[in-house]
Structure 1
Amino acid sequence: MLRYIAFTVFLLVTGAAGADRLETSAGSVAVTQVVGGLDTPWAIGLLPGGAFLVSERDGNLLYVADGTVNRVKGAPKVSAAGQGGLLDVTVARDFTRSREIFLTFSKKQKGGAGTAVAVVRLSENGKRLTNLRVIFEVTPGGSGGRHFGSRVVEALDGTLFVTIGDRGDRPAAQDLQNHMGTVIRINRDGTIPGDNPFVRDQAARPEIWSYGHRNPQGAGLDSQGRLWVSEHGARGGDEVNLVHAGANYGWPVISYGTHYSGQKIGEGTSKPGMEQPEHYWDPSIAPSGLLVYSGKLWPQWKGDLFVGSLKFNYIARLAGTPLREVEQIKGPETERVRDIVEAADGSIWFISVGQGAVYRMTPDT
């Protein structure tokens, strides 16, 4: 509790410092710190009316409103080891009516931990979660603390896409009998949509939407409702993929990277029946967080993808056909960008793990 008393004071002091400026292809932008003093922040959930939620990987969920910060009681118990912990936060589209949010986290399981999804209700004052229901967890779980993936996106039809990493078990990403290295699609109550691609395949998990992923830590919808993901490669081979039902994205059979030892991965960079990335990076940028921008405040960026870099400390803007990185938005505030989201007013919010802060980017007027 003492940490959060000190944290509130820190917020009030730094909030008066005003915005910094960064130069971009759309002109100067203002970057304002909206909360600081965070411990390994992972995701932002923007709420109607200006309040927001921030997850910290060690298991804390914070509610920020009117210049104060409160720790939210009732968050799920997490297995906070390695890359695991309390991870994504997504506010339901009907939050004003339902008060529901979706959380992903690493859940302790026999033999280790696995990515899980919970639906909870947030109290009116933002201080408590109630009616927590775990609607999905990977089967089987995995040992070690790597590659939980863990973004959750509400599709236009109300179903949920959840990204799941391979947990360091590379061959599992090609095995449809487990959830490792997949994107799954479930209904909001945890049931399985009848039109999932493998729902009638006895040799596959019916939740699976796509497979052959390594560690997808960024995900977002475009204006057509299509799902895009950014995922970590090994040494090189970070990818942006446009995800299709039933598609195989190749890991670890094909990749544009190499193992950390320098050894070749799999069979090369392509194979029939396996998808090519829309874009890949070599060297790796360690991508985390992905936003397809609406164009509301910056019309020239409409439809462009924004992806955070944990390794090189910038926000990548990707555009064009074929998709390519066309700009790097970079400053002290973009140190290890973990999450990036768009607010209702078109402003771009992002998490800097290195700064332990959430920032808001707006036109410099």
Structure 2
Amino acid sequence: MTYLKSAFALSAASLFLASCNAAASGDREATSTPSPAAAEQDFTVTAIGTYEEPWAAAFIPGTPLLFITQKAGTARIFDTAADTPRLITVSGLPDVDYGGQGGLGDVAFLPSESAPRLDTRTIYLSWAEAGPGDTRGAAVGKGTLRCWVADECAVEDLEVIWRQDPKVTGRGHYSHRLAISPDGQYLFVASGERQKKDPAQDTSNNLGSIVRLNLDGTPAAGNPLASEGGVSAQLWSWGHRNILGLEFDSQGRLWDLEHGPKGGDELNLVEPGTNYGWPIVSNGVNYDGSPIPDNDTRPEFEKPKVGWTPVIAPGSMLFYSGAMFPAWRDKLLIANLKTKSISEVSFDGTNAQETARYDFDNRLREIVQGPDGAVYVLEDGDNARLLKLTR
């Protein structure tokens, strides 16, 4: 494990032609976008270990322990409060269909389970699951995280509670981001359209949608299409593409962050029963350069609050609520893959605007807030560093 400390000032930089991980996702460069206003902020950046293709991270409530998933199907828990770097191994993880954008995905815990002593916790995991033939799809499981000795934990009684339906060919656009509602009653799951486009407009399946579930995975009462039953009863919103950010703000509003095609990454305020237009509209164009009608041309679809062309290729996002960085409070921080940066988004009610961008050396996959208000960022790919941002 490496341990490196450096302090430097990060400032907003010019934007670059963008795409997400091109080989895996097929997202490519776009044409133009306005630059955010220049800004400077001082950080102390501490690199505290490396991981192999990390994808997601979450602090175990009530503890300084950061649970980190790695795409090939492993996970580690890092003790951020230890005087010397300390890793805890995790067993009992699901078998994953690893390849392309697929593998072990997101992790979430119930905020209500926040006892200072880590013994057991309910844990939710998402991953890519193989199906019949050459098909696959995202799955979400619920289990119990048990830690019985100092450096070992296990996921026990893991049960699949939700699946993308149907499973399809290909290895892209799983999305499978997880969010627990602020009241702790519901599990929201981002379900990508798996690069198949049209299913995002078909409410008889759950591709290209955000679903709202009870904590046991059953469809929540009061969902927009609950009366239709079946898979439709899961849906909260639809017309989505590839959702890599799914978070609640301090007002309890749900937001998503999506990869566009050739241009047209977008930040959306997620409302129940709302259609976000993909693939009928987009502020990007098709990969072959052929046009897609802009969002403004179809008022029946909800428009994004912020759009990016060229794309930033977001990895994840965080609504900052800590005291360590007062200037970031109630702002959105986005970890970007293509632009190797953190975007800062400011709000006026539900209106949003990117106001700063901070450069880093490598692609950024995940961003989370620590118990003390520090910001933790995971780089993307092999030998990816965990970076701690402090003042």
Q: Does TM-score exceed 0.5, indicating one fold?
A: yes
Q: Please report how far the alpha carbon of residue 118 of structure 1 lies from its aligned counterpart in structure 2 after TM superposition.
A: 0.8
**TM-score, normalised relative to structure 1:** 0.90
- Separation in structure 1 between the aligned mates of residue 384 and residue 201 of structure 2, nearest angstrom: 36
The reply to whether residue 51 of structure 1 matches residue 89 of structure 2 is no
Q: Deviations over 1:25-57 (max 9, x none)?
A: 473111112221x11110112123322111111
Tell me the secondary structure at the aligned position of residue 114 of structure 2.
helix
Tell me the secondary structure at the aligned position of residue 96 of structure 1.
coil
Partner of 1:34: 48
Q: Please report how far the alpha carbon of residue 286 of structure 1 lies from its aligned counterpart in structure 2 after TM superposition.
A: 0.7
Higher strand share: 2
The reply to whether residue 362 of structure 1 matches residue 384 of structure 2 is no
Q: Is the 8 A contact 2:265 2:311 kept in 1?
A: yes
Alignment of 1:126-165 (within 5 A): 126-158=152-184, 159-165=186-192
Q: Is the 8 A contact 2:295 2:303 kept in 1?
A: no
Tell me the secondary structure at the aligned position of residue 123 of structure 1.
strand
Q: Please report how far the alpha carbon of residue 220 of structure 1 lies from its aligned counterpart in structure 2 after TM superposition.
A: 1.0
Q: Which amino acid aligns with 2:208?
A: G
Q: Is the 8 A contact 1:26 1:298 kept in 2?
A: no
Aligned counterpart for 1:85 among listed residues 92, 103, 114:
103
Q: Please report how far the alpha carbon of residue 149 of structure 1 lies from its aligned counterpart in structure 2 after TM superposition.
A: 0.5
- Separation in structure 2 between the aligned mates of residue 165 and residue 350 of structure 1, nearest angstrom: 23
Partner of 2:28: none
Q: Is the 8 A contact 1:270 1:276 kept in 2?
A: no
Aligned counterpart for 1:68 among listed residues 86, 91, 96:
86
Q: Please report how far the alpha carbon of residue 18 of structure 1 lies from its aligned counterpart in structure 2 after TM superposition.
A: 2.2
Alignment of 1:1-365 (within 5 A): 11=1, 14-15=2-3, 17-23=4-10, 25=39, 27-36=41-50, 38-47=51-60, 48-65=62-79, 66=82, 67-96=85-114, 99-111=121-133, 112-124=135-147, 125=149, 126-158=152-184, 159-201=186-228, 205-266=232-293, 269-321=296-348, 322-332=351-361, 335-354=362-381, 356-363=384-391
Tell me the secondary structure at the aligned position of residue 275 of structure 2.
coil
Q: Which amino acid aligns with 1:195?
A: G
- Separation in structure 2 between the aligned mates of residue 90 and residue 58 of structure 1, nearest angstrom: 18
- Separation in structure 1 between the aligned mates of residue 327 and residue 87 of structure 2, nearest angstrom: 35
- Relative distance call for 1:90 and 1:26 in structure 2 (3 A) is farther
- Relative distance call for 1:60 and 1:26 in structure 2 (3 A) is same
- Relative distance call for 1:91 and 1:235 in structure 2 (3 A) is same
Q: Is the 8 A contact 1:314 1:328 kept in 2?
A: yes
Which consecutive residues of structure 2, in runs of 5 or more, have no partner in the other structure? 12-38
- Relative distance call for 1:29 and 1:250 in structure 2 (3 A) is same
Partner of 1:5: none
Q: Please report how far the alpha carbon of residue 267 of structure 1 lies from its aligned counterpart in structure 2 after TM superposition.
A: 6.7
- Separation in structure 2 between the aligned mates of residue 245 and residue 267 of structure 1, nearest angstrom: 22
Tell me the secondary structure at the aligned position of residue 99 of structure 1.
strand
- Relative distance call for 1:131 and 1:204 in structure 2 (3 A) is closer
Q: Is the 8 A contact 1:39 1:56 kept in 2?
A: yes
Q: Deviations over 1:178-207 (max 9, x none)?
A: 111001110111122111111113586111
Q: Which has the higher contact order (CA 8 A, sep 6+)?
A: 2
Which consecutive residues of structure 1, in runs of 5 or more, have no partner in the other structure? 1-10
**TM-score, normalised relative to structure 2:** 0.84
Q: Please report how far the alpha carbon of residue 296 of structure 1 lies from its aligned counterpart in structure 2 after TM superposition.
A: 2.0
Q: Deviations over 1:296-353 (max 9, x none)?
A: 2222222211111111100100114442211111122xx1111111122211111111
Q: What's the % identity of the aligned pairs?
A: 33
- Separation in structure 1 between the aligned mates of residue 355 and residue 306 of structure 2, nearest angstrom: 12
What is the alpha-carbon root mean square deviation over aligned residues?
A: 1.8
- Separation in structure 2 between the aligned mates of residue 104 and residue 270 of structure 1, nearest angstrom: 36
Q: Please report how far the alpha carbon of residue 88 of structure 1 lies from its aligned counterpart in structure 2 after TM superposition.
A: 0.6
Tell me the secondary structure at the aligned position of residue 151 of structure 1.
strand
Q: Please report how far the alpha carbon of residue 295 of structure 1 lies from its aligned counterpart in structure 2 after TM superposition.
A: 4.5
- Separation in structure 2 between the aligned mates of residue 257 and residue 307 of structure 1, nearest angstrom: 20
- Separation in structure 1 between the aligned mates of residue 123 and residue 8 of structure 2, nearest angstrom: 33
Q: Please report how far the alpha carbon of residue 173 of structure 1 lies from its aligned counterpart in structure 2 after TM superposition.
A: 0.3
- Count of aligned pairs between the two proteins: 347
Tell me the secondary structure at the aligned position of residue 205 of structure 2.
coil
- Separation in structure 1 between the aligned mates of residue 230 and residue 111 of structure 2, nearest angstrom: 34
Q: Please report how far the alpha carbon of residue 95 of structure 1 lies from its aligned counterpart in structure 2 after TM superposition.
A: 3.2
